[in-house]
Structure 1
Amino acid sequence: MSTFDLVFYFFFLIFVARASFSSDPSDRQQLDKVLDLPGQNFNVSFATYSGYVTTNKESGRALFYWFFEAVEDSSSKPLVLWLNGGPGCSSVAFGLAEEIGPFHVEKDGKSLYLNPYSWNEVANILFLDSPVGVGFSYSNTSSDLLSNGDERTAAENLEFLLQWFDRFPQYKENDFYITGESYAGHYVPQLSQAIVRHNHKTGEKVINLKGFMVGNALTDDFHDHLGRFEFMWSVGLISDQTFKQLNIVCDFQSFIHSSELCEKVQDIAEEEIGDIDLYSIFTPRCTANFSVSNDRRSGKGKLSILRRAYDPCTEEHSTIYFNLPEVQRALHVHESPSFKWETCSDQVYDNWKDSPRSVLKVYSELLRSGLRIWIFSGDTDAVIPVASTRYSIDALKLPTVSPWRAWYDDGQVGGWTQEYKGLTFVTVRGAGHEVALHKPKQALTLFKSFLTGKSMPKLDLVSDS
């Protein structure tokens, strides 16, 4: 190492130490700024930050985040938190790298390309790996990975946000929304509830929460099972006999902790279904030599505007990329010699503790708070299908404000929608469990409507005269 290198390294260590102990938020932000992301062969106009927030000092629990400022005028744009589910699946793996993030991973697993339908086109987007044991989030106490559950996750996600806003105070006054999919159907309303209660307890709007939106969301175990079995039978995936058995044995079971008998009947159903992707029943599975968990539940370059064909192997590409040491260094990832990044953690899922059978009571509470609440559903998902979500919404017994109708995108039916008092439901035609992976343009249209609180677009009739 040359004398110049030694001097540079010395001053770098001083800066890191100063920023680590400094109370100045700008120092902490600078420490988290992503300066050189491997495989990014294009320029962007927005800043991005990643790092950790310690949510429990005693056990050393720390949650990893990756934040992308809006493409333009970030100070005036809403701030949106995205959560993936599982439980045990990474928001970086799915929400960011496959769906709504600005950077997606190329097939070589080493380079990136711009997503022209990224949600940071209209908002500041914050991705969070939660709870510990998921993605890059970790704990210095190994037993923490065996004791995750809904209650602790909501509490620590709230703690994360309170500390994150202290680190990025310039966004405290921005409208704040929470979004997510799958098991985030628990995380998102539970965190929203925790925020509303915290604001009420403190007597001020500590977090400026305006609403939340969830997609293909686990909501109520009974209705989700009922709709799932009905959907699988109605599209011809399972036999009449298996459909009847599933309804008899599994209807009142937990999605996360099913009985042995229910699992046996579901094994029969899987044999009848065959080797398809239940998260997107009409698209091909990944045929690469790669073990993908079937429990995922849970300055622009000109090339960015080209339409890309659907790639069922996106999870494989991400697994290669986020295990590259140079990528982890660029993202300020916690160093551990035995660490291997995974899209989903079986350890977290298999040891999940509390998981309420329903979050409908949480919805009832939040509907009274005046939050904007939207639920969307890709209609080719067989894991938590449209039928499940419709049953759950129906159980809320909300009056209809605007009846069922088609919505449009570029003159084509993008899906269907119905507006209730306090809640809007939207389906996305031809999309699977990860709506923005299959229908990115339509998903961005949905997101824009949600942020503005406007109804989904109708068909614009052009006069011949």
Structure 2
Amino acid sequence: MMKHSQLTWLLLLFSCYHILVSFNFYTCEANQIDNLNKLIKSRRSRNPPHTDSWSNDDINGEYSPVYVGNQDGQKEADKIESLPGQPQGVDFDQYSGYVTVDPNAGRALFYYFVESPQDSSSKPLVLWLNGGPGCSSFGYGGLQELGPFRVNSDGKTLSLNEYAWNKVANVIFLESPAGVGFSYSNTSSDYRYVGDNRTAVDSYAFLVNWLERFPEYKTRDFYITGESYAGHYVPQLAYTILSKNEVTNQTVINLKGVAVSLFATASSLSFYLDKRGYGIDCTEQAQIGNAWIDEKTGVQGEYDYVWTHALISDETHAGITKYCDFVNYTSTCVKYLDQADEEIGNIDAYNIYAPLCNSSSGPKSSASAGSINDIDPCSDDYVNVYLNLNEVQAALHAKPTNWSSCSDVGWTDSPTTILPIIEKLTTSGLSVVLYSGDTDAVVPVTSTRYAISTLNLPLVSAWRPWYSSNEVGGYVAEYKGLTLTTVRGAGHLVPSYQPERALTFISSFLDGKLPPPS
């Protein structure tokens, strides 16, 4: 058997977060790194999560109608009058609260929804999902990436994000599964036994019920977006929607077509809801950013990336190439992997050129908004303080909670690859987009390229630069049914590191276009 220390580092390989580095664990008690490490460790335990090709029992077995609760008056009750510490000039509506997805178990998912300040009635609806698994879409995506606010360094006040995605869409941030963020269950076993299948089913139930609560959005184009382990969530949710519509005449959603684009950590789905209920008319694409979609190519791509960026030696990389097949890990392979970890040192693998957080300083006594274009490496700490303020939880209509950015939920099923689902989506006529920040060593563009190459897709449009504010924003290549886009200078959390370029990219995406060529 492997030594414990060797296994610990080996299990980092699958992580959608700081991989191949000596990690900065002191920045927060529980983070996305820790959660994926735990999942990876469990793969080689006596009771590993199921790793078979993803197959949702509720979909492929006997169909049962999704639970739909009474939503009368819930929208009005969920409206946020004002968030503590928010700046002057907020000109958009905000909502947050719970949607029950299983009344028998008492399972309810928390959401934060922000409408567009202009022409919200004509703009599409976007769902954002963070990964982990087990990490908060509100705490990360909502308050550190694409949401309308960023938490200032005092942990008490907010500043506006001028590149927020609600400039071009109405955006939902969903904390899923139960046990993540403010989401909860009255059945304790729900926290111990959860995985990809349950997450997809509950997210589907959330959407059906949320659209009853906000019926004006039934006729909108709807997109699912997210990042990292959402490379599992988004394709699985898209497939759940497609499959639910093929079962019997009991099906709640009347699917008319879906176009899906997957950013390498997020994905997006376009829906049209017809008058009969929930029809999906895919006029757009779906996307996943820096998405973890395939373990073998993902791990191989990570080590090749750190070598090509001068973070490990030629000798160590040669040893990894010779002795590692990224499926079965021999003791010799593990020796070289450990060696690579030591050579890299203490850096932030989310963005190999970014500074680390000196968390000993903690939140500042006075607010410092900083620049939206320069992410504060201690943002995790500020968000954690803010979302644990009693007045903030009350304003969000949240149950009193010891909120954390990531939660200790037990993951029971997680396939090693999502590529078969992506193939099913593309063969269904859906368009897939994978995007990747090019300074991320966690799910690097190298891994995404390797994953795409296994699909053997014909090239439609050659690699070219795309532009934002008269600068190269990244590069794009289009294959049959799939598009690869990079975001220049962005780390794992693309909208955090390059907010303007991310807004340019999502705007083009929502318009059904490739990023601008000039």
Q: TM-score, structure 2 length as denominator?
A: 0.76
Q: Give the match for residue 116 of structure 1.
A: 162
Aligned ranges 1:390-409 → 2 under 5 Å? 390-409=449-468
- Whether 1:208 and 2:280 are equivalent positions in the alignment is yes
Q: Give the match for residue 341 of structure 2.
A: 270
Q: Give the match for residue 356 of structure 2.
A: 285
Deviation at 1:436, TM superposition (A): 0.6
C-alpha contact 2:95 2:112 (8 A) present in aligned 1: yes
Give the number of equivalent residue pairs. 418
Task: Render the CA deviation track for 1:29-69: whole Å, top value 9, x for unaligned.
Answer: 01111112101131322111101111112221111100111
Q: Give the match for residue 41 of structure 1.
A: 87
For residues 353 and 391 of structure 1, what CA distance do their matches in structure 2 show? 27
Q: TM-score, structure 1 length as denominator?
A: 0.85
For residues 382 and 331 of structure 2, what CA distance do their matches in structure 1 show? 35
- Whether 1:342 and 2:407 are equivalent positions in the alignment is no
For residues 322 and 250 of structure 1, what CA distance do their matches in structure 2 show? 43
- In structure 2, relative to structure 1, the CA distance for the partners of 1:261 and 1:33 (3 Å cut) is farther
Task: Render the CA deviation track for 1:295-334: whole Å, top value 9, x for unaligned.
Answer: xxxxxxxx99975533111111101100111100110112
Task: Render the CA deviation track for 1:425-449: whole Å, top value 9, x for unaligned.
Answer: 1100111000110000000000011
Q: Give the match for residue 15 of structure 1.
A: none
Task: Quote the RMSD (CA, aligned, Å).
Answer: 2.4
- In structure 2, relative to structure 1, the CA distance for the partners of 1:159 and 1:363 (3 Å cut) is same
Q: Give the match for residue 315 of structure 1.
A: 380
Q: Give the match for residue 234 of structure 1.
A: 308
For residues 334 and 491 of structure 2, what CA distance do their matches in structure 1 show? 24
Q: Give the match for residue 92 of structure 1.
A: 138
Out of 179, 199, 222, the position equivalent to 1:176 is: 222
For residues 260 and 39 of structure 1, what CA distance do their matches in structure 2 show? 53
For residues 251 and 188 of structure 1, what CA distance do their matches in structure 2 show? 28
The amino acid of 1:329's aligned partner reads: A
Out of 395, 402, 417, the position equivalent to 1:330 is: 395
- In structure 2, relative to structure 1, the CA distance for the partners of 1:289 and 1:71 (3 Å cut) is same
Could you tell me which runs of 5 or more consecutive residues in structure 2 were left unpaired when the two chains were aligned: 1-68, 256-277, 363-367
**More helix, by proportion:** 1
For residues 429 and 191 of structure 1, what CA distance do their matches in structure 2 show? 29
For residues 177 and 323 of structure 2, what CA distance do their matches in structure 1 show? 31
| Deviates further, 189-198 or 240-249 | 240-249
Deviation at 1:372, TM superposition (A): 3.4
- Whether 1:224 and 2:288 are equivalent positions in the alignment is no
Task: Render the CA deviation track for 1:92-144: whole Å, top value 9, x for unaligned.
Answer: 11111011000110111100011000000010100001111111111112221
The amino acid of 2:280's aligned partner reads: N
For residues 132 and 209 of structure 2, what CA distance do their matches in structure 1 show? 25
C-alpha contact 1:195 1:207 (8 A) present in aligned 2: no
For residues 152 and 262 of structure 1, what CA distance do their matches in structure 2 show? 35
The amino acid of 1:287's aligned partner reads: N
For residues 509 and 218 of structure 2, what CA distance do their matches in structure 1 show? 20
> What SS does the aligned partner of 1:402 have?
strand
C-alpha contact 1:155 1:194 (8 A) present in aligned 2: yes
For residues 280 and 131 of structure 1, what CA distance do their matches in structure 2 show? 27
The amino acid of 2:348's aligned partner reads: D
For residues 200 and 432 of structure 1, what CA distance do their matches in structure 2 show? 39
The amino acid of 2:386's aligned partner reads: Y
For residues 397 and 197 of structure 2, what CA distance do their matches in structure 1 show? 28
Q: Give the match for residue 365 of structure 1.
A: 424
Q: Give the match for residue 12 of structure 1.
A: none
Please identify runs of 4+ aligned residues in structure 1 that moved more than 6 A: 258-264, 303-306
Q: Give the match for residue 154 of structure 1.
A: 200
- In structure 2, relative to structure 1, the CA distance for the partners of 1:406 and 1:267 (3 Å cut) is same
- In structure 2, relative to structure 1, the CA distance for the partners of 1:219 and 1:23 (3 Å cut) is closer
For residues 205 and 463 of structure 2, what CA distance do their matches in structure 1 show? 39
Deviation at 1:269, TM superposition (A): 2.9
> What SS does the aligned partner of 1:44 have?
coil
For residues 51 and 325 of structure 1, what CA distance do their matches in structure 2 show? 15
- In structure 2, relative to structure 1, the CA distance for the partners of 1:267 and 1:167 (3 Å cut) is farther
- Whether 1:76 and 2:122 are equivalent positions in the alignment is yes
Q: Give the match for residue 497 of structure 2.
A: 438
Q: Give the match for residue 486 of structure 2.
A: 427
> What SS does the aligned partner of 2:189 have?
helix
- In structure 2, relative to structure 1, the CA distance for the partners of 1:248 and 1:328 (3 Å cut) is farther
> What SS does the aligned partner of 1:320 have?
helix
For residues 383 and 335 of structure 2, what CA distance do their matches in structure 1 show? 33
Deviation at 1:371, TM superposition (A): 2.8
For residues 141 and 415 of structure 1, what CA distance do their matches in structure 2 show? 46
Aligned ranges 1:50-61 → 2 under 5 Å? 50-61=96-107
- In structure 2, relative to structure 1, the CA distance for the partners of 1:234 and 1:93 (3 Å cut) is same
> What SS does the aligned partner of 1:204 have?
strand
- Whether 1:381 and 2:440 are equivalent positions in the alignment is yes
Q: Give the match for residue 58 of structure 2.
A: none
The amino acid of 1:434's aligned partner reads: L
Could you tell me which runs of 5 or more consecutive residues in structure 1 were left unpaired when the two chains were aligned: 1-21, 292-302, 460-465
